[in-house]
Structure 1
Amino acid sequence: MSAFNKYYSILESNKDIKQQYKQNNPEDEIPEKSKQIQEMNNPIDIRYGYQDKSSLLFQINKKFPNQPDFKIGVDLIYLIDISQSLNDESLEKIKSALKCLVNYLSDQDRLCIVTYSNKACQLFPLIPLSEKNKLKIIKKIEQITIKKENSNIYSALQITLLSLELRQFKNEITNVNIISQDQDLRKYSNDFKEAFQNEQAFKLKVFLLFSQDLIQFCQKKKRESQKFGRYHIMKKFDQLSSLLCFETLKLQQTVILNLEIRVKTHQNNPIQISECSGGKFIYVSPYEIRIKKKLVSIGQNKPHLIGIGNIPKSEGGEICNIEVSFQQIHSNHHQNYDIPIYAQSQKNNILDETVMVQIYKLKSRSQMNEAMLYYDPYRIQDCIEILQMFQSEVADLPDGIKQQLNVEMQQFELALSQYKHNPAQQIENPFTKIDQQSKILKLKVFDKL
């Protein structure tokens, strides 16, 4: 039995605690109904990028109705670590971010805040964000103070699970967020998985507010993808307000649940893993990969670029099949359909320039990363060759595609120049700053809240 299971079993056996919790939490306040989105029958389609005698590259896209104002209700529970690991400045940033979130949320959303140190305290139960409730919530947030005690995440999880278990009404999406400066929080990943294993349409996110020293420490441990939930390590606390709102917006615009895409090829057409890029996928075999996503929202999804062999099994036969399974947000029914992939009528080369631009934008980043990885001041030529090979590849592309890759190619020119003139100096990856700037622009819309 895990540490969490032992801890929670005490609560399960103590009916007085549950009864007391029920008395302190009256009947659920039902939020306003959310706007319905139109029916989606085939949310996944294919765009073909490139074909030659040995390869076919295509892009898997998610196509949704144009409803930018569409939002569903979300049940949000925030666990705030107020133990001695937190300092006064960080607490003020957290309180400011929570108040910003309250102003952003609508009356179809519900919010609950739990503070914890050695013990946990629920500031208020899950309640809709009506104007009256917003005033109460902001007052409660302003009263949060630091406790000079150790941190006990289990006590906060107990209250959270009771909140989820005893709610009579349930919004379409449930979201639990933890905000902490506790660097050891990641070791509880298995406990988080166990605690929320029965939750459907659910997302857990952990915001770790770390100093620069701890950022460097965490960068040495890069196996977060294998953990339950998502850990967002932050060094700029000023972005916390906008980030909480942005992450909530993605949940509010969820249109599909439990999406699974299986790409299956024939034995003479293996998947060319080196050509696959974009969103994450699960490798099953040389002839099958899977793409899984529990929550899919409008406009917040990476395309998947897939490369496969290009030898038809028979004359005019398919070379690959894509199986799609998904559930619409307001339905319990799973829908399934297949997309057969055939060799394209154009025998050679580029089929869709926009797909090719996407491929080379992603490839520019992976090649720059590889050059950084191979950096050695005594073997700088290896690094230079990687950069030059990518330049040569782009040089052979049509002018229309090259023009759309100007930003990427400028970074390669600059990197080559710096390595040639000062091989003893490792450079920073220029795409880190460029891509970070793109993320900041997405958050700016929430700055005035």
Structure 2
Amino acid sequence: MVAFHDRPDAGRRLGKRLAPLRGGDVVVLGLPRGGVPVAFEVAKALEAPLDVIVVRKLGVPFQPEVAMGAIGEGNVRVLDQRTISMARISQEDLQQVERQERALLESRVARFRQGRRRVDLAGRTAVIVDDGIATGSTARVACQVARRQGAAKVILAVPVAPARAIVELKEPDDIVCLLSPQDFQAVGYYYHDFSPTEDGEVVQLLDAAASPPYQRGVQGGDGSLEDDVEISDGRVVLPGSLYLPARCDGTVLFAHGSGSSRHSPRNRFVASVLHGAGLGTLLLDLLTPEEEVNRANVFDIGLLARRLSSATHWLEARHDGSAGRIGYFGASTGAGAALWAAAEPGAQVAAVVSRGGRPDLASPRLAAVKAPTLLIVGGADTQVLALNRQAMARMQAPTRLEIVPGATHLFEEPGTLATAATLAADWFRQYLLPSPVGRSMPEARE
């Protein structure tokens, strides 16, 4: 029984259920790693701060799967005195286990927070979010730790959990669960896409959540607009996520690569950096879920480019020029589609950025691209780097190749995606936004 498309989908549904909490003194805490994409959407819906709650179980030394306690940040420690007594655990044994687990906990905290401080829970409502519950042991510990950190109320919110686990959980003050089957399978059984969440995605989502929240589908207090939209190309309807600042002089359309979507944490992180630069964004899926199953569609660059062009026309028509100059941001195969669309006769595309892209997939059209193009490639992504160099030699438009040292194809290494996003923001700011001194054309270089 598939109930959710992916973790962001589950998070949006959970956010709707938790809507009565909006406006309260709420902190949303995601359990790394899989709980964070769900928690990101919940925090967005509640317009609440997002943080992670990192916990480690203290296992009995001779039987580590049996918990004798748990630890959390801020030297929080929760002990099960009954288990300690029955297992005859000495103070020395307990301290040794805690030292080991504390080192692992602090390592994970440093990896996820990247220097950010923990959000203070004192006197606030803590909403602890995971992508699902199997046994409930981790959720139970997280609730205890949040309470020890000063939370006045603890709510556990999950998309799916066994009915029995919901009944047995006593630690939270309240539990919000969208689906609680009696014949529970595994958590992943209820998701269409349950691919692993990487550490880099957790960091990117926390970074994105740190930017100012926006109201969805309505004019914000600062005049900005964020909305879920539907774009028809005459055959299918494509979903998109649109953000326009109060004054919009430039909007960037995103074309993601295979295996990704408009909900990709990487794309959303880059979009948040562009928002900070004063740019609008339109993230959209160029294929329907049914079409994505056929791998041939993923590499049909002509099809993807036509749909990107349709989205461009839709944006221009709907906002009557108020979206400003148009730019394309393409990743992987999406970069090929962006360049193909930019080469169309009459295309009003002011700039293109490719991140880890495959511009070679648009080889027949590269010479016709007129928009200034930035190619961003990871230094460790040697095969794609060679393809970008070959594509660059075919291009007539002002083109620059920027190599991010140490980055692989997905830019998962710490700091590499932020570097790529900053390069993209600078490029789009130069070519999409007004400049009193005009725009200087870059030299084609590496």
- TM-score for both structures, normalised by structure 2: 0.33
Please state which structure has a larger fraction of its residues in strand: 1
Instruction: Work out which structure has the larger RCO, using CA pairs closer than 8 Å and 6 or more positions apart in sequence.
Output: 1
- TM-score for both structures, normalised by structure 1: 0.33
